[in-house]
Structure 1
Amino acid sequence: MPIKEPSRTAVVIEDDDDVRDLLHTVLTGSGFLVHTAPAGLAGVEMVRRLMPDVVTLDVGLPDIDGFEVAERIRRFSTTFIVMLTARAAPSDEKRGFEAGANRYLRKPFRPAELRRHIQEGMAAAGV
């Protein structure tokens, strides 16, 4: 029986190698073809090129912050954006949603929680 290729694409924008690897593993296990970027500008260009179904996005990136990344992505894409960040202040969460995030999860997060948010969000969007 042939192996089915993933039909959905995800982009992980995360500067921490360990978190990036974890997200890659979780999303690959959920049936996504996963691409990663260690910084914001590279991530925006990757999203522009690939037009993924899902983007996970850290707020604290080395070049531009995740809020700016989300705003730039929203100029050309309706992809499902999950912000994953250690920033727990309500003002940061509000800013994340205003920038274009669909979900805002705090680190540390459970992989099952991330999968659930993505499945619910994509189902609601009809993807």
Structure 2
Amino acid sequence: MPTQEHSRTAVVIEDDDDVRDLLHTVLTGSGFRVHTAPAGLAGVEMVRQLAPDVVTLDVGLTDIDGFEVATRIRRFSSTLIVMLTARTDPADEERGLDAGADRYLRKPFRAAELRRHIAEGLAAHA
């Protein structure tokens, strides 16, 4: 009987092409099957269809902001949400966590830092 490797799934919701490509590379290198969405509404639908293990979510999206995306995802999913943003105001972090994000990571971030946040978050979800 053939063995099937269980592959974890990630959805990246990010409107910046370069950041989206970086996240794709980091997550693929960490063993995830990665799907990307350049906007919030498309990302919500992707999460609904794929039921990923983790979602990385930009706050500043072109259609609806990341806070609204997190709120919508939480209506149907308990997936790990790592919010990524350049915003430094502590009120934004509180708003992100209140909207449903599990982790809040400020840009610029290091790949190792993102991997650590994801590993810790997934362990806490287990």
Which band: TM-score by shorter chain? over 0.9
Partner of 2:28: 28
Give unpaired runs (5+ residues) of structure 1: none
Q: Shift of the alpha carbon at 1:30?
A: 0.4
Q: 1:111: which partner in 2?
A: 111
2:58 matched to which residue of 1? Answer: 58
Partner of 2:49: 49
Helix, strand or coil: the match of 1:12? strand
Q: TM-score, normalised to structure 2's length?
A: 0.96
Sequence identity percentage: 83
The aligned residue for residue 124 of structure 1 is 124
Using the alignment, how far apart are the partners of 1:124 and 1:83 within structure 2? 16
Structure 2: state its 5+ residue gaps: none
Q: Which amino acid aligns with 1:23?
A: L
Q: Under a length normalisation based on structure 1, what TM-score does the superposition of the two structures give?
A: 0.95
Whichever residue aligns with residue 64 of structure 2, its letter is I
Distance 2:76 2:62 in 1: 23
Q: Which moved more, 1:4-13 or 1:37-46?
A: 4-13
Measured in 2, the distance between the counterparts of 1:82 and 1:108 equals: 14
CA distance, structure 2, for counterparts of residue 22 and residue 5 of structure 1? 24
What is the number of residues matched between the two proteins?
A: 125
Alpha-carbon RMSD across the aligned residues, in angstroms, is 1.5
- Give the conservation status (yes or no) of the 8 Å contact 1:10–1:34: yes
Structure 1 runs of 4+ aligned residues shifted over 3 Å read: none
